[in-house]
Structure 1
Amino acid sequence: MRVLLSTIGSRGEVQPMAALAWRLRGLGHEVRLCVPPDFRDWIDGLGVPVTPIGPELRTFTATGSKPSPDQLRRLATGTVDTQFATVPEAARGCDVIVAGGSLQIAARSVAEGMGIPYVFVAYCPNTLPSPLHAPPPYGLLGQQPWPGGTDNRALWSQDAQRMNASFGAALNAHRAAAGLPPVPDVRGHVLTDRPWLAADPVLGPWPGAGETDVFQTGAWILPDERPLAPELEAFLAAGEPPVHFGFGSMRAPRDLNAVMVRAARALDRRAVVSRGWADLAPVDGGDDCLTIGEVNQQALFPRVAAVVHHGGAGTTTAAALAGAPQVVVPQMFDQHYWARRVHHLGIGAAHAPGVPTAESLANALRDALSGEVAARARSVAATVRRDGTLTAARRLTATGPQNVS
């Protein structure tokens, strides 16, 4: 089987696709990836053919200015145009398209035009409609989650209207040019009535209600055997387990590094700070702090006292697998959901959304470092599934491409 795996987003969207590609190749299938150019070198290193799509996301996330409504409309139209220009060539000769993440507007239409199956995969339960939860807040950095007690059905209706307003005209213009009928419901068209959910059923369970028939595979985890850098190994060996801080691909204030280190020092803890896309700079020359670049989380997280992060699905899952207590400081979209789940499961603390202070972060970290939370984190780690890609690959290939949904 020849499979195109396509996504637009940060490392959190791309790495699960790389994990499924790794699994499918191990089973003897031909796989291609269509991802933002930020990740081309990394995917090339995995030995998987890659087609870059769109501009570099790191450049966009690094800008501090908030786009105007008109700029957002042009961005929405631009990404649809780019997808219709790029995905058909990437999918040439493929038997099925698997699309991940909320920005995959064109992939189903491309599959329809080619006469091949299409599968949509979400990475977080609350990105799929259900009356039992609200949709994630849609917008840029700093948008707050919906307040409790809000009518979830009404919020999902608003979400569908937003998708239509943002992408409907551009999508249907391209469909008309391809001889395809118009789509009245963009969100339903993208998600299908049988979406897949690549999230762990303990960390992110599907509530089992709604108009969609969801197939939950478990999280898609890419095995990582890279050794830790000698400098990091030496730092870990020089004292008690440190606290790891990282915000991944999120924008962050330039003084966030100092806030993180002050919070750790308030609790007499050492700190490891990941630069991330915000390029957090070293705070000072203290020997109790180390700033690092890209790292193997699977090797590092079991050796730290706690993980402080923004609440991406991948980091939340990696910390849970390691049995490390977490502090989640959500910024946008599904990160608020993961913060609530970490708190609900008792495996860490949910910090208030937005920019933390040294005091607020130290308070949340103090809660996460308690013996009860640490014991709960180790207990939950034993329940997190590691076979999500195998479940997905078997579903995709067991009965042939005509029956993947």
Structure 2
Amino acid sequence: MRILFASQAIDGHFNPMTGVAMRLKERGHDVRWYTGRVFAGKLQDLGIPLCPFKRAVEHRADNLFELYPERAKLKGPWAIGFDGEKIFASNISNFFEDLRELDEDFAFDVLVADSSMFIQRLVMHLMGTTVVSFVVIPNMESDPLVPPLFFGFLPARNPVERAWQGMAGIISDKVILRAASQSYRRQHAVYGQEVPKGGRLTDEPYRCSDAVIQTGTMSLDFPRRNNNPKVHYVGALLPYRLPGGTAGEPPPEGYASTIAVTQGTVDNADQDKLIRPALEALKDMEGALIMVATGGRGTEELRERYRQPHIQIRDYLDFGSLFETTDVFVTNGGFGGVQLALSKGVPLVVSGVNEGKNDVNARVEFAGMGINLRTDAPSPDKIRAAVRTILSDPSWRHRASQIRDHFAAQDPPGAAADVIEKARPDRAG
């Protein structure tokens, strides 16, 4: 088959898809990738041809504030609403025109689309192409039992909470996502595509796909009343590692415990949110090795300030190897990092709000896999207390090891590749 992967030019969207693409390539399929030029080197290393954006704006983790300076002033749901319109919805027509042109030279049989590109309806209805959506965040599809997105809610436990969450859902639809939804409908109207009323913008990838690859496991999701048969939970989809690739400098040995810390690769410009408070919280824990990944920001400055030998501060860490010996992971809640940690049985301390991280962290809390600090900028005291709670209570590690077994029971790239190979168009719906 001729298979085209399509993703945002953002690491957290691109990287989880690479292992699946390589598995399909190994199975003999002709695999190519539509994304930004920022990934040209990575795709060359993987031997996958790049079909670069032409009309589409290349939104990257390192240029969002340059493209949209006003974004830095927004927080929580308002930041998500801004991203929904500017970063995601605004590019839909550009993506689609690029894909139609690309199809003339590479008539792909299946499009494996990053769900956040929101191109599924146009590709299925106007190109007649099989579409498999790839979801790199928790399941976005609305359900009566699942709280509305962007607020970090746990499932409602009583009528009062259900009523409150119902109101929040209306705010999400009518206020936070209003501009993005209007843009989505306008762009589809240009192509004569009427978007049905009811449901939410974030339901569209689930409505308009032949199959949906959902990263993670059902044990890391909220209970649902309606289980969409198109949705396939495949486990932790991790970046593909080339054979013989370096694992980086190994961590020092001889410590009683290891604590890993990161603020992710996007929302890491203001290190006062998590990295600095975490370092202040943990700098006196001399029996513990503190491994910090900065994402390439302010590394040398932090090293000058925190010279303690048990603190190691690096631009990036090979978390896949590090988590083999990690006891606690302190993170702002990127879904990829959360899955990787739990796939190794590592309990978490989570703290983050933007980019939907509060919804990830709510799932960590609900599953009993970590302590959710429920803030964007926790104090050192709260971080220290949470880390000590996990280190002193073996039940946290026990619960994390249980979900590790769920992850270990799956071959994520193989399971996802199977979904793509078996996808069949169903035009009747």
Question: Shorter chain as normaliser: what TM range?
Answer: 0.7 to 0.9
**Matched position secondary structure for 2:281:** helix
Deviations 1:201-251 (A, max 9, x none): 25424634238444223233345364332xx32x42254443110121232
Change (3 A) 1:258 1:171: closer
Partner of 1:347: 369
TM-score between both structures, scaled by the size of structure 1: 0.83
Cα displacement string for residues 153-172 of structure 1 (whole angstroms, at most 9, x for unaligned residues): 56555545568743455445
Cα distance in 2 for residues equivalent to 1:150 and 1:134: 9
Q: Any conservation in 2 of the 1:175–1:182 contact (CA below 8 Å)? A: yes
Map residues 248-327 of structure 1 onto 2, 5 A cutoff.
248-252=264-268, 253-255=270-272, 256-268=274-286, 269-276=288-295, 278-280=297-299, 281-282=302-303, 283-327=305-349
Q: After superposition, where does 1:103-142 map in structure 2 within 5 Å?
A: 103-137=116-150
8 Å contact from structure 2 (residues 33, 51) kept in 1: yes
SS of 1:382's equivalent in the other structure is helix
* Cα drift, residue 364 of structure 1: 1.2
Identity of aligned residues (%): 18
**CA shift at 1:311, angstroms?**
1.3
Distance 2:297 2:353 in 1: 14
Residue segments in structure 1 that go unaligned for 5+ positions in a row: 138-143
SS at match of 1:42: helix
Query: Normalising by the residue count of structure 2, what TM-score does the alignment of the two structures yield?
Result: 0.79
Find the counterpart in structure 1 of residue 72 from structure 2.
65
Going from structure 1 to structure 2, the CA distance change for 1:150 and 1:183 (only over 3 Å counts) comes to same
Q: d(CA) in 2 for partners of 1:202 and 1:213? A: 13
- Over residues 281-338 of structure 1, what are the superposed CA-to-partner deviations in whole Å (9 max), with x where a residue is unaligned? 4343332211222333211111222211111221111101112221111223442233
Contact 1:76 1:166 (8 Å CA) reproduced:
no
Which of 165, 183, 186 is the equivalent residue of 2:195?
183
One-letter amino acid matched to 2:73: K
The equivalent position to 2:398 in structure 1, one of 372, 375, 381, is: 375
Q: Is the 8 A contact 2:217 2:406 kept in 1?
A: no
CA separation in 2, counterparts of 1:51 and 1:31? 11
Aligned mate of 1:199, from 202, 215, 220: 215
Secondary structure of residue in 1 paired with 2:277: helix
Which stretch shows the higher mean deviation, 275-284 or 319-328? 275-284
RMSD: 3.3
Structure 1 Cα separation of the partners of residues 406 and 425 of structure 2: 33
The Cα shift of 1:7 comes to 2.4
Equivalent position to 1:82, from 94, 98, 102: 94
- Asked if structure 2 preserves the Cα contact closer than 8 Å seen for 1:9 and 1:36, the reply is yes
What do residues 74-108 of structure 1 show as CA deviations (whole Å, max 9, x unaligned)? 6566423432343334454111112223x322343
Partners of 1:35 and 1:162 in 2: CA distance? 30
Indicate the residue corresponding to 2:109 in structure 1: 95
Query: Which of the residues 251, 254, 258 maps onto 1:242?
Result: 258
Residue of structure 1 in register with 2:24 after alignment: 24
Q: Deviations over 1:94-151 (max 9, x none)?
A: 11112223x32234313432221222233344411111111221xxxxxx53485144
Which ranges in structure 2 are unaligned for 5 or more consecutive residues? none
Q: Specify the code of the residue in structure 2 equivalent to 1:49.
A: P
- Does structure 1 residue 34 correspond to structure 2 residue 34? yes
How far off is 1:59 after superposition?
Answer: 1.6
Measured in 2, the distance between the counterparts of 1:24 and 1:117 equals 16
Letter of the aligned partner of 1:349 in structure 2?
I
Aligned to 1:141: none
